[in-house]
Amino acid sequence: MNETIDYNEALVSKKRPTLLTILCILTFLVSGYTLITGVIGIFSTKSFDQAQWEQISEQVAESLAGADENSARIVDEVLASASITVERGIYYATPLSLIAILIALVSAYGAYLMWNLRRSGFVFYTIAKIVGIIVPLVLLGFNVITMVVYGFATVIGVILIILYNVNRKYMV
């Protein structure tokens, strides 16, 4: 009779914390969204209209005609970075979409394991976040645009990894 009581007490003590539940639900939602956008990215049109890009660049240059030289130089650098990033993004659209799908699946699997209080889920989730930052940066290149976008993603990823890590003590 004591064994039954001890077993039930052990089950009750392994209740998932609220923060871990919220983190897992957020991960499931973001992974689902990323999965959908990744699938759409595979089938979307992949073309770069150089003439349209030049027209946009000319319009920006005209609007900066009265600006000081530093501002114009900074805008030129940002436009050049954006152009390179867009071209590479289109060129690598399919691999980036496939990587996004894989990362979403691994992140969701890690969250599923953590949902079930399995510590190994933290490893899957962390690896997915690291790969999800590094691989697109390598493909798209290191420039102002990619560093800002992936810098923001890195900060969010690090915060989530820290919050998941805080909950590892509840996992087996």
Q: Report the half-sphere exposure of 2 (CA within 13 A, side-chain side).
A: 0
Give the tokens for residue 161.
């990894």
Q: How far is CA 136 from the centre of its chain?
A: 10
The residue segments making up the domain with residue 142 are 17-170
Reported as a pLDDT band with limits 50, 70 and 90, residue 34 is very high
Prediction pTM value: 0.79
Q: Is the pLDDT of residue 65 over 70?
A: no
Q: Is 2 part of any domain? A: no
Task: Report the pLDDT value the prediction gives residue 12, as an integer from 0 to 100.
Answer: 46
Q: Is the pLDDT of residue 8 over 90?
A: no
Residues 6+ apart with CB under 8 A from 132: 99, 100, 103, 107, 153, 157
Q: Is 76 part of any domain? A: yes
Provide the number of structural domains found in the chain.
Answer: 1
Cα(31)–Cα(45) distance, integer angstroms: 23
What pLDDT digit, counting tens, does each position of 66-108 carry?
A: 667 777 777 778 777 888 888 888 889 899 999 999 999 999 9
Q: Is 8 part of any domain? A: no
